[in-house]
Amino acid sequence: MEKFDGPAISVAGLRVIRGKNLVIPDLSLEVPRGALVGLLGPSGSGKSTLMRSIVGSQIIAGGDITVLGLPGGTAPLRHRVGYVTQAPSVYMDLSARENLRYFASLVNAPKTDPQRVLDTVGLADCADRPVTTLSGGQLTRVSLAVALVGKPEVLILDEPTVGLDPILRRNLWAMFRRLAKEGATLMVSSHVMDEATRCDRLLIMRGGGILFDGTLSELLKQTKAKDADDAFLALADAADAREAAA
């Protein structure tokens, strides 16, 4: 593996048009290596569009995306970047283990990887049932597990904790933290501002732009808010006031 010291992800001047909508007008950001970054913002703010652009699923109208020093979405990155789409995307008629075996073969992961990630996401005891028979939370974890095979260096996770119970959410965030400690870079999106407390860094999105890029304590200091929810409202109000003035 080539050594690379720059940021894990860097986006410069990204512009995305979906259908007739200018969804992301001009967005730039950097994600340092080994960080657990929360991409927070209300729904419709462009989180999924940004993540799709980073993994190379999204047609972009302009800008530069670099992941691990390579142009985003190119072939050498495809086994180094794991991606979980917002809607669980696995083969519903296969079992979790069969899904994992297939995706493991695509990234040339060791034969033991399916079992390893099943244990990681806590699905070992329902690994052999068709995915259709699993609960919503279990399904979300199968979809997440698929992205973990092959130990990708960068993980782009689109709302992986939404709709899960508090215990499961806590366990997943603990797992994300562990992966970051082991050296992976994670970008995790959520429209629930509370999840800010679990991240090293925050990227707060609104209307296709980045409102804030920094740590939670910086955010609270800057906005003089008591929690992330209030801070977001303060940021949004400030942005609206600036727009009205301009």
Partner 1 sequence: MSIQLTGATALRVLTQLRRDRRTIALITFVPLILLTLLWAMFLDVPVMPGHEAPFNSVGPGIMGLFPLFIMFLITSVTTLRERQGGTMERLMASPIGRADVVFGYACAFGLVAVLQGTLVVVYSIWVLGLNFAGPVWALLLIIVLDAILGTALGLAASSLARTEFQALQMFPAVIVPQLLLSGIAIERDQMPQVLEWISDALPLSYAIDAIHYLTENQSASEIWSQVVILLAFIVGALILGVATLRRRTD
Q: Does 85 bind Mg ion (CB under 5 A)?
A: no
Stretch that binds ligand ADP, among 41-49, 67-75, 92-100, 171-179 (CB under 6 A): 41-49
Q: Does 48 bind Mg ion (CB under 5 A)?
A: yes
Q: Give the total residue count for the chain.
A: 246
For residue 10, count other CB atoms closer than 10 A to its CB. Answer: 19
By CB under 6 A, name the one of 1, 3, 19, 245 that touches ligand ADP. 19
**Taking CB under 6 A as the criterion, which residues in 49-88 touch ligand ADP?**
49
- Residue 94 binding: pick among ligand ADP, Mg ion, partner 1, none (C-beta 5-8 Å cut-off by kind): partner 1
Between vectors from CA 61 to CA 57 and to CA 64, what angle results, nearest 5°?
A: 75
Q: Does 197 bind ligand ADP (CB under 6 A)?
A: no
Q: Does 47 bind partner 1 (CB under 8 A)?
A: no
Q: Residue 82 CB, nearest distance to partner 1 (Å)? A: 9
Residues 6+ apart with CB under 8 A from 110: 104
Q: Residue 114 CB, nearest distance to ligand ADP (Å)? A: 29
- Distance between CA atoms of 231 and 224, rounded to whole angstroms? 7
Stretch that binds Mg ion, among 41-49, 96-104, 201-209, 210-218 (CB under 5 A): 41-49
Residues 6+ apart with CB under 8 A from 205: 39, 40, 41, 45, 46, 47, 50, 211
> Angle of helix 228-245 relative to helix 216-223, nearest 10 degrees?
50
Q: Residue 55 CB, nearest distance to partner 1 (Å)? A: 5
Q: Does 44 bind partner 1 (CB under 8 A)?
A: no
- Distance between CA atoms of 97 and 91, rounded to whole angstroms? 11
User: What is the distance of C-alpha 98 from the center of its chain?
Assistant: 24
- Closest to partner 1 by CB, 58 or 185: 58
- Residue 21 binding: pick among Mg ion, partner 1, ligand ADP, none (C-beta 5-8 Å cut-off by kind): ligand ADP
Q: Does 160 bind partner 1 (CB under 8 A)?
A: no
How does DSSP assign 28-43, residue by residue?
EEEE-TT-EEEEE--T
- Distance between CA atoms of 143 and 190, rounded to whole angstroms? 16
- Closest to partner 1 by CB, 79 or 177: 79
Contact 144, 152 (CB under 8 A): no
Stretch that binds partner 1, among 3-11, 57-65, 111-119, 238-246 (CB under 8 A): 57-65
Query: Residue with structure tokens 């967005």?
Result: 27
Q: Does 106 bind partner 1 (CB under 8 A)?
A: yes
- Interface residues with partner 1 (CB under 8 A) are 18-19, 52, 55-60, 73, 75, 78-79, 81, 83, 85, 87-94, 98, 102-103, 105-108, 130, 146
